[in-house]
Structure 1
């Protein structure tokens, strides 16, 4: 068995600190039993020695009285003096030997206390204290690991909360009207950027947690287990040393028991320190091997469908660029510190092996120097584990960002921010909001003077121009403030409407409002024109939300936003196309097929093409399409005028159309030609919340009856039953 490789707890038992610690603790506690054995054995030897001494004294006294009588008789003719008979001399030697044996047993009893029992007591205290240090170290490692797990759960909770808040802001955007929509949209965009940052934090924390977890199970815990193994084997070696000493004492004191002591000595020699370890491993190793706990994976929010990909839009890249810059700055120092501490640990381990070889060559004697070396190795491993955890976390952060964004920090020039307390009103150069508070609520770049909120620091692009003088800083400050002075600057970046016809489809969402409003601002050059357009847009939205008259009344459902057609702005009066015959809508009509348009009740339209089989082609604003002829009334020619519905009447009209107003249009003429069926299939699972909705499983197929009208819902048919499903949960086949 000497040729076999020695066992290693850290490599073979992995996550088994508790059973190993309990086993080592039991071995150390066992030292107390061995100590008790030698103390009781010492008492027995003391009693035996005392009895032998009394016995020798009593018979010395008897012998002195009978020496002459037994040597020369009671009445000798010549006094023998000091001479004794051969028998008495032998008897005297026997009693003297008994007295010497008594002294040997007394010395043996004393040695058992001082050299065995007291030594075991010291070893018990020393090893138990060292084991407790291992226990504290493991608890600290476990606490650090659990703290990272907790941080992951907090980050996940923050991500869910941010997603929930984002969903709320999205609903507000869809429910807002007129002047309130840009503000709601801005809040939604800001929340979207915040959600991306929180998500990125969650993903980074996820990878960091996995890295910390891997280090815990493959580096930290194995090191502690190996140290516990060294402690236990050192304990066994120390006990062997005490047993050998006891055996040698008894061999010297009790020659008659030398054969038995030699046999015991041989048995002790065969008790190699690692044999106990081999047996423990054999009885504690799982049959199917140890399995590492699975890695943590990205869990999408239950209210926000997302993937496990790092968000790399412009705002997120800025945040990631700042994140990786900070991580790399700290990573250099941590790598240097880790390498230094690793070399220290390796040096102490080499010294430990040298001391162990020296101890074995000296007959297994455990020295205080070896014990101190073991303690230093454990302390070094503890310090290395703490620094290495930070290094692993930073390297994981950098690798995660670079895998998603490449060399994002290649041409970055990060700002050198420092905490600042502003004594005068100051605006954030990023969000242009006031920085409130005096207790270091803001950040200022030491080079270029960029001011921002502490919360905005990570969202500032890494484009610092470098150190500037006061004049240059002031000029740059004016440019930044002027850039944010006009609240609609961002709208001008969106494409303007070119006046072409816009079809009604799901792409006409809230973005359409910003696009058309921006176009009006660019054409008119004033905020007043934008307000007028928004009012007209609201009117259109309200009147076009009524259910289709060509089909049965759709089931009641939540309305998340006006139909997209409501967001198509009319042309200003100075750009209106030439008028034709005008007509007035007697009833509200919602488009039910290709080529049709939705128009609200009372809306004036221009007839483009007269009646053709029960349908008339009309133009409503910039949109042209078919409406039922019975739904319109031709008007007498009148001067061109532009009417804008009041917000109140528009909202009331929309409310009536949504809830199924009292006015109903006449029957619609048959469609011209058969309509081709459009099929859709579910791309996500969905659980119906009302009786008017379908349950869906991924892959389920339906017939599309009506596409998303801007409310976020589509009407589908399955087995002759028509119900509603979320429009973004299905996809055309």
Structure 2
């Protein structure tokens, strides 16, 4: 850009000397371009030599110089216009773009610093773990050499050191997973986004250069009618300079193989041999994990809200960036700066959210077979001992003061703050295994920035659901014998009266309809039934339960059993009025959930859902993060965090 604005300044000065000087100037810049051609096209260290090829902007520049050689005489007015309208503007644009590039460099340094800080935290956790192992070993050695009363005291001290060692180990394992996720995020999201941003800056620069070239060409057309043919050629080549061509050429000649850094793994202490399984066998360790899980969930909720807030601003800037060509040059650079600042803010906030999310998942997975809410909470009580001296005694109780919210939070093994990312599975696998399995589905930004992984259609899980769907074949379907019995273990009923639904949890029925009974009357006066794809409550007095061995003639409609059939009554009789309906006091409501995200079943007992689906809740979340639901005649479990109550 510096060469281009210098070109127009010098050309303005040379316009008075007409053709001779103008040709000399063009030759000068041909030579300068030749020296920088390779560097500007493919960089200083390309992976593939471009030969004689130049990028689109340099090709355009070459054509402009060639046509400039054909121009002879220029007016003084044109010289002034070149200086004020072209050279000065390009110089100002160059300064603004340099500032934007510096900001990208600072952004990358900030991201790297955050990553290194987390790496350092991981290393420190390792040092602390080794130190606690050493202390444990020293205490054990002393205990082995003690006798009588000192032996008991030494053993108690050794037990305390063992708890400290296990806590340090758990902290170390958590930091390993955090470091791995942050590392993945840096190489798979943060760094690509920064590189994409730099590419966008370059493309914006090319776009603005094109506009200035067009402006210069327009000035020449207005002032040099004799050169109109040459100037039209310049316009044609500039139009061909598509913004993405330079970047595409640079990428093509600089592609190289990249190997992802290896994951962090648990390194046993050379002093205390151990495996990577998180310690959960003692109340002391579980108390530590319980407190940490509650703290992490609170932080995760706050960080998720923070990310959502920042992401709204970022989305607005992304949309504005799509229409960048329609705004002025100064506003474009300002928009690019704002876009970078918003991206930097979102990445930083999302990293913090990721840290808390990984901690929650790691602890939940390690304690999936434990009920943390029942773990006694250690309280400190001050008592008077011998001679009136105060002493502190630690006691274990079921709950601690003010911890009701934490206990409530611990009863839920899934949090809605995960926003469609990886759901903790019901498994006893180690935390390190969970990290390697789900680490690439975790980022909040990946869904926004187009890097979300999706389940493949036609998988084994989908096939399992198809088999499950086939199991719900209507017992009154067409074909087969002339009579059909109820499916084994399924209760059916016949509607004695028509009923119109008076609430979201009810369904309307017509007299004589055949209904499948989901739940019988529990004393509330209401019964939960299904008709077709609809399910809900109806008054128990409006239906008649059919015997489990009853058969229905095939001549009877699937949707209704007319009078004179199973329900009884004379043919053609008038519509009967049902009895008064009692209020639904204690009646069991049908509960639905609305899917927030897509989820593909990964096991035969799971349910595939899509965003917007209305799912019937068959069994509520019992604390394992999964809800039993039914959708489209198929039932199974799905992640509770993927849906909300209707």
| TM-score, normalising length: structure 2 | 0.50
Q: How many positions carry a matched residue from both structures?
A: 347
Q: Is 2:291 the partner of 1:329?
A: no
Q: Is 2:365 the partner of 1:403?
A: yes
Q: Is 2:84 the partner of 1:129?
A: no
Pairs within 5 Å for 1:358-507: 358=326, 366-406=328-368, 408-411=371-374, 427-430=391-394, 463-464=399-400
Counterparts in 2 of 1:319 and 1:426: CA distance versus 1, 3 Å: farther
Equivalent residue, structure 2, for 1:281 = 251
Counterparts in 2 of 1:285 and 1:270: CA distance versus 1, 3 Å: same
Q: CA deviation at 1:378?
A: 1.6
State how far apart, in whole Å, the 1-side matches of 2:379 and 2:138 are: 36
Equivalent residue, structure 2, for 1:177 = 147
State how far apart, in whole Å, the 2-side matches of 1:252 and 1:368 are: 26
State how far apart, in whole Å, the 2-side matches of 1:408 and 1:317 are: 9
Q: Is the 8 A contact 2:178 2:355 kept in 1?
A: yes
Equivalent residue, structure 1, for 2:541 = none
Q: CA deviation at 1:381?
A: 1.3
Q: Is 2:274 the partner of 1:306?
A: yes
State how far apart, in whole Å, the 2-side matches of 1:428 and 1:172 are: 26
Matched position secondary structure for 2:360: helix
State how far apart, in whole Å, the 1-side matches of 2:261 and 2:73 are: 64
Q: Is the 8 A contact 1:197 1:319 kept in 2?
A: yes
Counterparts in 2 of 1:354 and 1:267: CA distance versus 1, 3 Å: closer
Q: CA deviation at 1:116?
A: 1.3
State how far apart, in whole Å, the 1-side matches of 2:378 and 2:145 are: 40
| TM-score, normalising length: structure 1 | 0.44
Counterparts in 2 of 1:179 and 1:415: CA distance versus 1, 3 Å: closer
Counterparts in 2 of 1:303 and 1:165: CA distance versus 1, 3 Å: same
State how far apart, in whole Å, the 2-side matches of 1:430 and 1:162 are: 22
Q: Is the 8 A contact 2:12 2:79 kept in 1?
A: yes
Q: Encode CA deviations 1:135-157: one digit per residue, 9 max, x unaligned.
A: 11111000000110111111111
Counterparts in 2 of 1:385 and 1:177: CA distance versus 1, 3 Å: same
Q: Is the 8 A contact 1:342 1:384 kept in 2?
A: yes
Q: CA deviation at 1:127?
A: 0.5
State how far apart, in whole Å, the 2-side matches of 1:236 and 1:377 are: 18
Equivalent residue, structure 1, for 2:411 = none
State how far apart, in whole Å, the 2-side matches of 1:411 and 1:42 are: 84
Equivalent residue, structure 2, for 1:156 = 126
Q: CA deviation at 1:114?
A: 1.0
Q: CA deviation at 1:427?
A: 4.3
Q: Encode CA deviations 1:634-667: one digit per residue, 9 max, x unaligned.
A: xxxxxxxxxxxxxxxxxxxxxxxxxxxxxxxxxx
Counterparts in 2 of 1:462 and 1:135: CA distance versus 1, 3 Å: farther
Equivalent residue, structure 1, for 2:262 = 294
Counterparts in 2 of 1:350 and 1:175: CA distance versus 1, 3 Å: same
State how far apart, in whole Å, the 1-side matches of 2:277 and 2:403 are: 37
Q: Is the 8 A contact 1:325 1:414 kept in 2?
A: no
Q: Is the 8 A contact 2:130 2:269 kept in 1?
A: yes
Q: Encode CA deviations 1:172-203: one digit per residue, 9 max, x unaligned.
A: 12222334322322222111111100000000
Q: CA deviation at 1:323?
A: 0.6
Pairs within 5 Å for 1:666-677: none
Q: Encode CA deviations 1:429-462: one digit per residue, 9 max, x unaligned.
A: 439xxxxxxxxxxxxxxxxxxxxxxxxxxxx777
Q: CA deviation at 1:368?
A: 3.1
Q: Is the 8 A contact 2:16 2:74 kept in 1?
A: no
Pairs within 5 Å for 1:98-109: 105-109=75-79
Equivalent residue, structure 2, for 1:351 = 320
Pick the structure with greater CA Rg. 1
Q: CA deviation at 1:465?
A: 5.2
State how far apart, in whole Å, the 2-side matches of 1:401 and 1:41 are: 70
State how far apart, in whole Å, the 2-side matches of 1:176 and 1:327 are: 42
Q: Is 2:9 the partner of 1:39?
A: yes
Q: Is the 8 A contact 1:145 1:216 kept in 2?
A: yes
Structure with the bigger RCO (C-alpha within 8 Å, sep 6+) is 2
1:318 to 271, 287, 312: 287
Q: CA deviation at 1:223?
A: 1.8
1:202 to 147, 155, 172: 172
1:190 to 125, 142, 160: 160
Q: Is the 8 A contact 1:322 1:462 kept in 2?
A: no
State how far apart, in whole Å, the 1-side matches of 2:271 and 2:403 are: 46
Q: CA deviation at 1:409?
A: 3.9
Q: Is the 8 A contact 1:322 1:414 kept in 2?
A: no
Q: Is the 8 A contact 1:318 1:462 kept in 2?
A: no
Q: Is the 8 A contact 1:321 1:408 kept in 2?
A: no
State how far apart, in whole Å, the 2-side matches of 1:467 and 1:272 are: 62
State how far apart, in whole Å, the 1-side matches of 2:103 and 2:378 are: 45
Q: Is the 8 A contact 1:35 1:117 kept in 2?
A: yes
Q: Is the 8 A contact 1:36 1:117 kept in 2?
A: yes
State how far apart, in whole Å, the 1-side matches of 2:305 and 2:367 are: 26
State how far apart, in whole Å, the 2-side matches of 1:156 and 1:461 are: 32
Q: Is the 8 A contact 2:217 2:231 kept in 1?
A: yes
Q: Is the 8 A contact 1:321 1:462 kept in 2?
A: no
Q: Is the 8 A contact 1:324 1:409 kept in 2?
A: no
